[in-house]
Amino acid sequence: MLKVEGLSRMFGGVEALAGLDLQVHDGSVLGLIGPNGSGKTTLFNVLTGVYPADSGHIYLRGKDVTNLKPQQIIRHGVARTFQNLRLYSRLTVFDNVWVAQHSLPDVGLRELILARRKPERARREAVSTMLDVTGLADHADQLAGGLPLALQRRLELARALIRSPDLLLLDEPAGGMTPAETADMADLIHHIATPNRTCIVIEHKMELLSSLCQRMCVLNFGRKIAEGNPQQVLDHPDVLEAYLGRSQSSA
């Protein structure tokens, strides 16, 4: 599904990604971890065209999509959520998901505003179904800005899923949540987001990643330092050093 070769990105004199190689197989769930500033969100931003790569290549199903614009990447079947929520706070929950459909290949913003009756009904039914499966149906008419954080993160996920992406990038989907809310989000991702879809999940909460991911990849200073199944990765000496420091990891 996704192949990254020698991907690099500089910010001034800082190398945020340094010759990164990565493969994600179709239908798999990859956990992406690393200390703050290790390059995780930068990788998502380069994959989705927010930042251009300075060097290297990105392939989706064998097609080179390096440095395409975000709207072009979306049309290749990629959707994402954001660590810092990107919701329309003054629109209702329903309208947030409704507007997210304008990035679909056969739907433009004009089509949504001046929708014909039959396609509009089908799309409204799709939004209602998405709100139902993500536990947001009872909040459809509420303004997004008034929702508690856990529901805002569900809404962010619903906005990504309404596009039926082949590749879904989740950036800290349980950030700021309580343990109970995190468990609910893990269950939602497992049952709604990951089936028949390829996913990459950035998280600091290892219990969530361990329950979702077949493989994990660890970044540090823009470089991959470990990759494998969750237990192999969490026991890797370079990972322990990156998170705990050399003295603690050798103690």
Could you give the count of Cα atoms lying within 13 Å of 88 in the half-sphere of its Cβ?
13
pLDDT at 117: 65
% of the chain beyond a pLDDT of 70 = 90
Total domains in the fold of the chain = 1
* Mean pLDDT across the chain: 90
Structure confidence by residue, pLDDT tens digits, 136-168: 999 999 999 999 999 999 999 999 999 999 999
Structure confidence by residue, pLDDT tens digits, 50-71: 999 999 999 999 999 999 999 8
* Joined tokens for residue 133: 């499966």
In a domain, 228, yes or no: yes
24-36 mean pLDDT: 94
The rounded distance, in Å, linking the Cα atoms of 80 and 230 is 23
In a domain, 75, yes or no: no
Q: Is the pLDDT of residue 113 over 80?
A: no
244 pLDDT band, cuts 50/70/90, is low
* Joined tokens for residue 103: 């990035």
Q: Let me know the angle formed at the C-alpha of 90 by 85 and 95, rounded to the nearest 5 degrees.
A: 85
DSSP letter for 149, please.
H
In a domain, 123, yes or no: no
In a domain, 151, yes or no: no
247 pLDDT band, cuts 50/70/90, is very low
- Strand 223-228, strand 215-220: pairing: antiparallel
In a domain, 40, yes or no: yes
CB 78 within 8 A of CB 169: yes
In a domain, 191, yes or no: no
Q: At what angle do helices 179-188 and 149-161 cross, to 10 degrees?
A: 10
90-106 mean pLDDT: 84
Q: Mapping DSSP to helix (H, G, I), strand (E, B) and coil, where does residue 164 land?
A: coil
Q: Is the pLDDT of residue 100 over 60?
A: yes
101 pLDDT band, cuts 50/70/90, is confident
The rounded distance, in Å, linking the Cα atoms of 233 and 218 is 8
75-103 mean pLDDT: 91
CA 160 to chain centre: 9
pLDDT at 67: 96
pLDDT at 121: 80
In a domain, 246, yes or no: yes
73 pLDDT band, cuts 50/70/90, is very high
* Joined tokens for residue 235: 């026991």
In a domain, 51, yes or no: yes
Which range marks the domain in which residue 40 is found?
A: 1-66+199-251
Q: Is the pLDDT of residue 114 over 60?
A: no
pLDDT at 110: 61
114-119 mean pLDDT: 63
% of the chain beyond a pLDDT of 90 = 73
Can you give the CATH number for the domain in which 209 is found? 3.40.50.300
